[in-house]
Every structure is written in structure tokens, then in C-alpha cells.
């Protein structure tokens, strides 16, 4: 096992890794910007190093400063958390050259799965279903030809990243000519890679992802799936496990899990990872992409499996076996739901940094709160607006929803604005409660009311 792990991140995910390390008897090093000098992850780590000013490009994304912090503290491993440098293959390569274990997959694996085009090719070659689509598009004429082959509507997507950046729905040739260059420009600005491709567009999809763990030595397991269809502008807001999708029967879940385990074993995947799928209107699953890191929404999987994913990720990186047998078939215990509480305006969704005057997290049976904030803490304007991950677990999905509603009612955050009320609306929505919701749920909920009289004129 490692002696000391440096966490190249901040906020609640840095705290999450610190907790796992403490359970494993591993010392920790926190890095922080000048804006985070009083943050909880800085207080709770065994050591802390300031790596630069508030601007993430000069601190949390500044590789030389992070490597120097690891060297001066004699850390022997580095955990990237999620976001920032967590899926940067070049950073993982630098860690390896500096004899610093990167707690994640190899740089080669990250390059394979990090490009959506290469990931599609890899998935297709190994028997995972993918939506009809293209390779990297050379120019607009190439895009028009590929769209004609696949059939409109199609979705233009950035090869080098996600989060909705570089994504454009095109329903005809005119749309394609108008959207192609802006999609390239967005991809280049967001990911320093202008490569885009297209695939068939599903009008009302569900977003379902499978959690995997592999050791790169011929072992891999699927630890269930999560449904992440409650999204705004392709950003997840609510996640749950298991998925309530009627089409995801026990047989369908087991078949896909076996296929994924085979792909991960044969591909030599080592670490945690998440394979993301689109489910179309007929209930068919299609591979979209793979995230080669810890996911924000991992707590719902931990709640229904009883497995500490971060501890297992660290064990595998250290060359140890996980605490659960590779052959064990995990059966979900009840249901869990996560709500992402963001510091943002509830109407415009603009980030709302500022000082939290009062903070009271909820409690009670079945409630978990992952957060890096406290009363008196000033939420910086420089980073992601996520401040609390609220998780509810119950014996049934209905009980988990009821507990989450109670927890939201108990949540007190004053001094800034949050999206707590929006989460209450989502959980009360009939389509959500039936489990038949799609990624269009919030679009419907937030649509302005129709204009004109509420009745037909005579």
C-alpha cells in the first residue's frame, strides 16, 4: 500500500479521497490555490501545499506546481479526483516518468478511451453496440455525405470531450452547413482539439452508465448501473441506481454487464471507469463514451452495493486485490438517489458565488452528505458551482425518493442562492416518479407556459 497520496483536486472530492486514504492507513497531501487556503480539504489532510493563485490554470491545472508539491512532500502516489487533470493522459505520463503512481488507468488506456472516435472504434471491435455514426469529419462536405448515409437527424459531437460543448443537432443539410464550423470552433476552444464526428440523434433518450473496476491482469467487474437522465444542457443534476427504466430488465442488465466485463478484461483495463450509454425509445442500449476516472455520482453506487469505490480504486493502483472477490455478483440493495446542489441562481442558472452565512446539512436514516462547505465559507467564483452532493438510500425507490424529499426540506444554505427548490420540483414530477423520464425532462418542466387563452375560442 502507498505511504502518502497527493490529491490533485479540491472541494468535496478531495475530502472523499482523504477519507478513503485514512481508512487505508495512508497519509495525505492536499494542494490548494490561494482562494482555497481555508478549505476543508486543506484542514483535514495531513499536509497541505499552496500551488498558485485562484485561477485554476495557474494552480489546479498547473502540472509543474503539482509535481513539485508531490516531490517536496515525498508522496508516492497521486489521486486526480474528477475534473481538472483527471483524464489528461499527458499528466498521467508525467507522473509515471516522475515515479509517481497515478491512481487511474495508464496513459495509453486514457488515450484510447478518451477520444470518442477511438472509443467508438474500440467498442465496435469488441462487440459493444454503438449508434450509427462516422469517424472524424474532414470538412462540411464529408459531414453532409456521412449524414446522408446515417440519416437525419444527426448529432455533431466533439471527439476530445463532453459536457455538451461542441454538440449540435442537425436535421437537414442546411442545418449541417450552418452548424459544422461553430461545432469545430467550440470543440477547439473547450478541448484544444477541433475533431468532430456525428452519430444518429435519439430524440428522447435515457442516459444510463455502468460502473466498472478492473486490475489490468485479467479481472474486471461491473458494479451495477446508474441512470443520469435528469440533465440541463448535458450537465447531470440527479442520478440514481439502479435505473428505473422499464426496458432494463434483470436479463438485459446481466447481459450488458457480462459484455462489459469481457471488454474490460480483454482490454486490460485497470482502475475505476464508467461506460456511458444512450437508451433509445425502443429500449436499446448504445455505447457513447467511457470516463476513465471516478465519477461525481459514484456515491449512489456505493450506497446500493456497500462497496467503497475509492478504497478499491486505491487498492488496485497499489497492486493489491480489492476487498471483494472478482467473481462475486453484486446485487443492488435497495435504491439510491443523488441530487447535486449547486451555488447558482434558481431561474437563470448563473453561478452564484459568495459567503455562506448559515449551512445546515440534513441527516437521518439513509441520508449521506458529501460536501466541502461550511457556514462562513466563501464559495469562490473560479471553480465549479457544485457545493453539496445529497444522497438518499432506501429499501425501495419510493422510499429513497421520500427520504430525499425530507432531506431537501431540511437543507439550509443562506447567503447564496442554490437549486434546492428545483430538485424538489423534479422529485415531485409524475414522469420522474414513474421512472419513464428522459433527458428531455427538464426541458419540459422549465418550458414557458403557452401563450394565449387557456381554452379554444368558439
- Residues assigned a catalytic role: 293
The x, y and z cell numbers of residue 365, run together, are 436514516
The 10 Å Cβ neighbour count of residue 144 is: 16
Is the CA virtual torsion 100, 102, 108, 110 positive or negative? negative
Of 29, 24, 27, 37, nearest to 6 by C-alpha is: 29
Per residue in 10-41, is it b (16+ CB within 10 Å) or e — as a string? Answer: bbbbbbbbbbbbeebebbbbbbbbebbeebbb
Among 91, 102, 78, smallest CA distance to 17 is for: 78
Query: What stretches of 52-167 show up as alpha helix (H) in DSSP?
Result: 63-72, 89-97, 107-114, 116-125, 140-150
Give the pairing type, strands 168-170 and 154-158: antiparallel
Backbone angles phi, psi at 337, to 5 degrees: -130, 140
Q: Which helix (H) or strand (E) holds 290?
A: strand 285-291
Amino acid at each position: 500500500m502507498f505511504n502518502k497520496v497527493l490529491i490533485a483536486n479540491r472541494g468535496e472530492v478531495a475530502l472523499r479521497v482523504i477519507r478513503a486514504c485514512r481508512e487505508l492507513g495512508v497519509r495525505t497531501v492536499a494542494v490548494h490555490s490561494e482562494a482555497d487556503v481555508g478549505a476543508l480539504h486543506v484542514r483535514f489532510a495531513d499536509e497541505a501545499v499552496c500551488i498558485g493563485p485562484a485561477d485554476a490554470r495557474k494552480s489546479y491545472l498547473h502540472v509543474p506546481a503539482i509535481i513539485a508539491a508531490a516531490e517536496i512532500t515525498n508522496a508516492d502516489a497521486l489521486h486526480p479526483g474528477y475534473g481538472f487533470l483527471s483524464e489528461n493522459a499527458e499528466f498521467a505520463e508525467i507522473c509515471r516518468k516522475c515515479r509517481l503512481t497515478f491512481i487511474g488507468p495508464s496513459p495509453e488506456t486514457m488515450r484510447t478511451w478518451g477520444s470518442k472516435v477511438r472509443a467508438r472504434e474500440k467498442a465496435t471491435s469488441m462487440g459493444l453496440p454503438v449508434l450509427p455514426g462516422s469517424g472524424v469529419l474532414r470538412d462540411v462536405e464529408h459531414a453532409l455525405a456521412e449524414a446522408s448515409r446515417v440519416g437525419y437527424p444527426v448529432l455533431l459531437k466533439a471527439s476530445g470531450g463532453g459536457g455538451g460543448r461542441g454538440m449540435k443537432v442537425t436535421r437537414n443539410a442546411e442545418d449541417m452547413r450552418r452548424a459544422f464550423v461553430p461545432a469545430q470552433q467550440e470543440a477547439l476552444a473547450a478541448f484544444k482539439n477541433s475533431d468532430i464526428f456525428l452519430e444518429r440523434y435519439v430524440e428522447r433518450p435515457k442516459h444510463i452508465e455502468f460502473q466498472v473496476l478492473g486490475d489490468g491482469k485479467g479481472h474486471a467487474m461491473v458494479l451495477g448501473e446508474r441512470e443520469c437522465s435528469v440533465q440541463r444542457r448535458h450537465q447531470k443534476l440527479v442520478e440514481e441506481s439502479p435505473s428505473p427504466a422499464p426496458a432494463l430488465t434483470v436479463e438485459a442488465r446481466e447481459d450488458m454487464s457480462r459484455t462489459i466485463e469481457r471488454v474490460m478484461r480483454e482490454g486490460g483495463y485497470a482502475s475505476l471507469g464508467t461506460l456511458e450509454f444512450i437508451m433509445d425509445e425502443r429500449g436499446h442500449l448504445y455505447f457513447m463514451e467511457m470516463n476513465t476516472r471516478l465519477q461525481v455520482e459514484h456515491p449512489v453506487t456505493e450506497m446500493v452495493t456497500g462497496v467503497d469505490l475509492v478504497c478499491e480504486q486505491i487498492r488496485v493502483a497499489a497492486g493489491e486485490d480489492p476487498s471483494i472477490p472478482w467473481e462475486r455478483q453484486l446485487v443492488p440493495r435497495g435504491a439510491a438517489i443523488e441530487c447535486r446542489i449547486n451555488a447558482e441562481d434558481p431561474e437563470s442558472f448563473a453561478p452564484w458565488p459568495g459567503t455562506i452565512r448559515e449551512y445546515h446539512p440534513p441527516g437521518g436514516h439513509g441520508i449521506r452528505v458529501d460536501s466541502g462547505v461550511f457556514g462562513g465559507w466563501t464559495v469562490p467564483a473560479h471553480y465549479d458551482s457544485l457545493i453539496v452532493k445529497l444522497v438518499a438510500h432506501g429499501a425501495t425507490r419510493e422510499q429513497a425518493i421520500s427520504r430525499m424529499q425530507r432531506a431537501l426540506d431540511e437543507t439550509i444554505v443562506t447567503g447564496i442562492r442554490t437549486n434546492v427548490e428545483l430538485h424538489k420540483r423534479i422529485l415531485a414530477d409524475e414522469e420522474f416518479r414513474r421512472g419513464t423520464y428522459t433527458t428531455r425532462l427538464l426541458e419540459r418542466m422549465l418550458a414557458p407556459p403557452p401563450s394565449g387563452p387557456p381554452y379554444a375560442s368558439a
